[in-house]
Amino acid sequence: MLSGHTQIVGVIGWPIEHSVSPPMHNAAFEALGMDWCYLPFPVHPANLKEAIAGVRALGLRGINVTVPHKKGVAALVDELTPAARAVGAVNTVISRGEVLVGHNTDVGGFLRALREAGFEPEGCSALILGAGGAARAVVYALAGVGAQVVILNRNLGRAQALAAAFAGVSETARLRAGPLNEKSLSQEMERANLVVNATSLGMWPQVGTTPWPDELPFPSHALLFDLVYNPRETRLMRRARLEGARAVGGLRMLVHQGAEAFALWTGREPPVETMFAACCAALRGGE
């Protein structure tokens, strides 16, 4: 029951109807008996500045930020954490009185999901497919733990720029870039023990698409981490498993980045499995 004491958080994006964050967070609040409510706020890009001012004016405890606003919000908050500043994107805002602090919990969420899958990322050899916003958080996370990272993208210039941006994050990390094509994949895949799909290929409704050529075997020794979470099992994940590789979908990363935001807002330990179950139920309901 909402009251004058209810603490409000939410998510801004455009569009926002597809988001599973409201059921995920509200399930967590209910499980812990907290008088909090998480709401979706559709914000057109032209209204982003006013929306962030509204976070202050309405006294919200914080917000999540999804596409297309992650970069824009980074320029509108008062402070940025080191990860948010480095990645150049904010996915979580915390209200501290009149001060809005921008965080990027995608970085920690990715690493937690990897470790939960039994994969230790320190010093690994990673092959990243894509060089967009999702890839930035992944590359920064892996560079920070000293990984050897190869970024492949159809636009080679974007991959090169991403590799250069994070080259100095760690003394032991090594970053390279190349074009995303069958030749590059065949050259790089044997050295990689982690393959990350940071493209949108395979995401609903384009579930038949994949960044991996049909003619090229998937390396059975590697772990595939597909950032796509809808559907829970992508065409690429099925392909990797059929060829003997382990595959992890993006839902666990979504939950762990949300759990980190939950802890930042509330100071409470997030009920991660409750949040995961709520996401699964929301995705099933949308099918």
Q: How far is CA 119 from CA 97, 100, 175, 238, 246, in A?
A: 39, 34, 20, 19, 10
Three-state DSSP state, 215: coil
| Cα 117 → chain centroid | 16
70 belongs to the catalytic site: yes
Residue 251, token pair as written in the block: 């839902």
Chain centroid, CA 267 distance in Å: 22
| Amino acid at residue number 199 | T
Q: Annotated catalytic residue: which of 49, 70, 71, 183? A: 70
Phi and psi for 250 in degrees, rounded to 5?
A: -80, -5
Could you give the CA distance from residue 151 to residue 38 in angstroms, rounded to a whole number? 36
Q: Pick the closest to residue 141 from 157, 119, 154, 155 (CA basis).
A: 119
Residue type, 160: Q
How far, in Å, CA of 262 to CA of 103, rounded?
A: 12
Yes or no: say if 198 and 215 are a contact pair by the CB < 8 Å rule.
no
Instruction: Burial-class residue 85 by CB neighbours within 10 Å (0-12, 13-18, 19+).
Output: middle
CA 255 – CA 51 distance, rounded (Å): 25
- CA dist 28 and 271 (Å) reads 6
Q: How far is CA 128 from CA 161, 184, 186, 280, in A?
A: 14, 12, 14, 26
Among all residues, which ones are annotated catalytic?
70
